[in-house]
Structure 1
Amino acid sequence: MTVISFLPASVIYAIVSPPIGESIPATRPPSRYNSPAMATQLATAQPKRKPRAKRQDTPQPCPEPIAASLEQLQQLKLPSGDGDKMESDWHVVSITLLDELVRNHLGEPTHYFCGGNMFIYYSVEQAKEIEQYVEAEPPKRKPRFKGSDFFLVRDVDGTKPRESWVVWNEDGRYPDLVVEFVSPSTRGKDVDANAQFYAQVFRVPEYFWFDRRSGELVGYRLVGRDYVRIEPDAHGWLWSAVLGAYLGVWRGSYRGRVWSWLRLWDSEGQLVLTREEREARERARAEQERVAREQAEAQAQQERERAERERERAEQERVAREQAEAQAQQERERAAQLQAELERLREMLRQQGIESD
C-alpha cells in the first residue's frame, strides 16, 4: 500500500492509495460555498492582531472568516489577465488541445464550462493580491494562486461569456476537475502544493497533472477532504468520472508538433478526435467510399462487357447453327435432286432395254 504525503505549511495530509481498480464516485460535498476559501479579511471587522507573518508560497486556506458581504465582493477589481507569458509553447498548445478534446467529447457547452489559463477568484485576499500584482509598477511578487492550466465546472451554462471564473458570481461553484501541465519551474507546486490546495480549499473532485518530460500522468479523486490516487488501467490510462472518459499519454502530431500529449479516450476505448483528425477521417472515409464506388462501377462495367461478349458469342453460335442447318438442308436437297436424276436416267435406260447396275 502506497502512502503519499503532502508537507506544506507544517501540516501533513496523508493520502493512501486504494486497491487497483477501486472506483470512487467524483462527488462534491453538499456545501455550495467553501467558507474558508471565501473568507475575507476586512480590517474594519477584525480586532487588532499581530503583524502578518512572512507569506508562504504554498496556497493556504484563509483563516476562519469574518464573512464579507456579496456587495463588498462585487466592488473588487478583478483583472482578467496579467500579461505574463506561459511556461512554454507546449503549455499553450496542450491547453488548446485539451479544451478542444473536452468540447468534442461533451458536445455543446450548454451544461458545462471549461477554461484554460484563466484567473479563478475565490476570496477577497486572493483577488487583492492579483489586483496589486497586475497594477503595480514595477510588478510585485506574484500572487500565490491565479488560476489553473485547465479546469471544468459541470452543470453550468458554458455559453455565458466569462473573462475569469469568479466563485461568488457562480453560485459558489468551484471546479469539478483541474489539470495542470508540469514544467521544471512548477513541478514542486503542481505535484505537492496544488494537490493539497485543490483538496483542502477548492475541494476539487478530480485533479490531474502531466509532466511531458518524465512522461508522468498522475490523477487524484477526492474522498472526504483528502485525495486518493487514481490507479491506471492496463493501457496506463486514468478514468475520470467527471469527464466520463480516460486520460492518457499519446505521442503524435498536433498542429505540426510531434510531442507527447494528454489525450482522451471514451468509455469504449476509442480515441476522442480533434477537429483536424475528424476532418481527415471524413476525407479518408469519403475517399474510401469513392474508391469503392469506382471499383463497383468498374466491376459492373466488366460484368456488362462479359454479358455482352456472352450475348455476341451466343449470337455467333446461333448464326453458325443456322448456317450449318441451311447448308445441311442444301446438301439434302442437292442429294435428293441427284437421286431423282439418277432414278430418271435408270428409268430411261430400262425403257431402252438397257440394264443398269
Structure 2
Amino acid sequence: MTPQTPPTTQTNPPHSPWENLPTMYDLPSDNPEEPGLPDDFHFLQPLLLFLTFLSPNWNPAQVYSAADLNLYYDLEHPLWHKRPDWFGVVGTSKLYRGEDLRLSYVTWQEPANPFVVVELLSPGTEAEDLGGTQQENRPPRKWDVYERILRIPYYIVFSRYTNELQGFHLVGAQYAPMEFEEGELHLPELGLKLGIWQGEFKGIERLWLRWLTEAGDLIPIPEEEAQQAQQEAQQAQQEAAKANRKAEQLAERLRELGIDPDDL
C-alpha cells in the first residue's frame, strides 16, 4: 500500500474573533437604514426621566410622558411622525381617552401637545435634532415640527458623548437658547428643573439627565424612596432604643435614692 500523506498541520493559531470580527461599535443594533438606533442608554435615560417627571403644579393624573413613541403631527400627512427619545405632556390623562394604553401620540386626537421634548444626541441624529439642512421632498425636521408645527414650549438635547446639555425655549415664533441657573434648566410652568446628575441608576454609575425640584433637590425614584423610608425607620428605632435606655437609667437612679419610679 502506498503510504498516505498526513494532513497538513495548522502551524499558526486561528485569529481570535475578539481581534478580527466587528465590535459593538461597528455593528448597528437595528435597521442600518434607520438613524438613531436603540441602545442601552436610550432605554435607561428616558426611564429615569419618566420616573422623575413629577410636577408639583399639576395633578399627577393629568401628567403623561413617554419614550420612543411615535408622535403624529400633521393632519394633511397623517402618516408623518417623529419619535422623540422622551416627551412630557401636561393636561392630558395617562390613558388614551382615559381608557387604554397608548400605541402612539396622535396630536389631533389629544387635548394637549407635548410640553417638553428631550432628544439624546447621537452621531446619526445630531443634524436632525439640532435643525440641520432640510432635504428636499422630505418631511420637516424634528426642530421644525417641535418649533413651528406643534409649538412645544421646551426642547432639550443631551449628548452622552460630550455630556453637553442644551435647552431651547419657545419665544414668540422660534426657539431661543435657555440660560442655565446654577447649571440647571428651569421650567417654571412645571415647577421643575432639569440638570445633570452624577450617580448610580439601575446599577450604572455615570452622568444622567434628571428632573429636580425648583430648589434643586433630586426627585426620588421608587428605589430611593424605599431606601429613604428604611433609613428613617432604622433611625426611629435607634432613637426609641436610646430613649428607653435613658428611661431605664433614670429609673435606676430613682431607686438608688429610695424612690420607686412606678409610684410616680
- TM-score, normalised relative to structure 2: 0.73
Partner of 2:151: 203
Of 88, 100, 103, which aligns to 1:152?
88
Residue 115, structure 1, aligned to residue 51, structure 2: no
Contact 1:151 1:175 in 2 (8 A): yes
Residue 97 (structure 1) aligns with: 48
Asked if 2 retains the 8 angstrom alpha-carbon contact of 1:206 and 1:242, the reply is no
Q: Which of these residues, 244, 249, 257, is aligned with residue 302 of structure 1?
A: 249
Relative contact order (C-alpha < 8 Å, sep 6+): which is higher? 1
**What residue number does 1:250 align with?**
197
Q: Following the alignment from structure 1 to structure 2, what is the Cα–Cα distance between the partners of residues 148 and 104?
A: 20
C-alpha distance in 2 between matches for 1:190 and 1:290? 52
- Alpha-carbon offset, residue 269 of structure 1: 2.3
Residues 1:197 and 1:168: Cα distance change in structure 2 (over 3 Å): closer
Higher strand fraction (1 or 2): 2
Corresponding residue of 1:232: 180
Please, what is the CA RMSD of the aligned residues? 2.4
Shift of 1:281: 0.6
Name the aligned partner's letter for residue 186 of structure 1.
Answer: T
Q: What is aligned with 1:21?
A: none
More divergent stretch after superposition (242-251 vs 191-200) = 191-200
1 CA distance for matches of 2:216 and 2:79? Answer: 45
**Which position in structure 2 is the counterpart of 1:215?**
163
* Superposition deviation, residue 258 in structure 1: 0.9
Matched residue SS, 1:278: helix
Percent of matched pairs sharing the same residue: 29
Contact 1:177 1:206 in 2 (8 A): yes
**Alpha-carbon distance in 1 for matches of 2:91, 2:39:** 32
1:165 has 2:112 as partner? no
CA distance, structure 1, for counterparts of residue 68 and residue 49 of structure 2: 12
Dislocated runs of 4+, deviation >6 Å: none
Deviation at 1:127, TM superposition (A): 4.1
AA in 1 matched with 2:175: Y
Amino acid at match of 2:85: D
5 Å-filtered alignment, 1:8-19, equals none
TM-score if structure 1 supplies the norm length? 0.55
Greater helix fraction, Structure 1 or Structure 2: 1
Residue 95 of structure 1 contacts residue 150 of structure 1 at CA under 8 Å; is this kept in 2?
yes
Deviations 1:180-216 (CA, angstroms, capped at 9, x unpaired):
1222322222223433431122211111111122111
How many residue pairs get matched? 213
Name the CA distance, whole Å, in 1 between partners of 2:209 and 2:147: 22
SS of alignment partner, residue 214 of structure 2:
coil
Question: d(CA) in 1 for partners of 2:189 and 2:143?
Answer: 17
Distance 1:270 1:212 in 2: 22
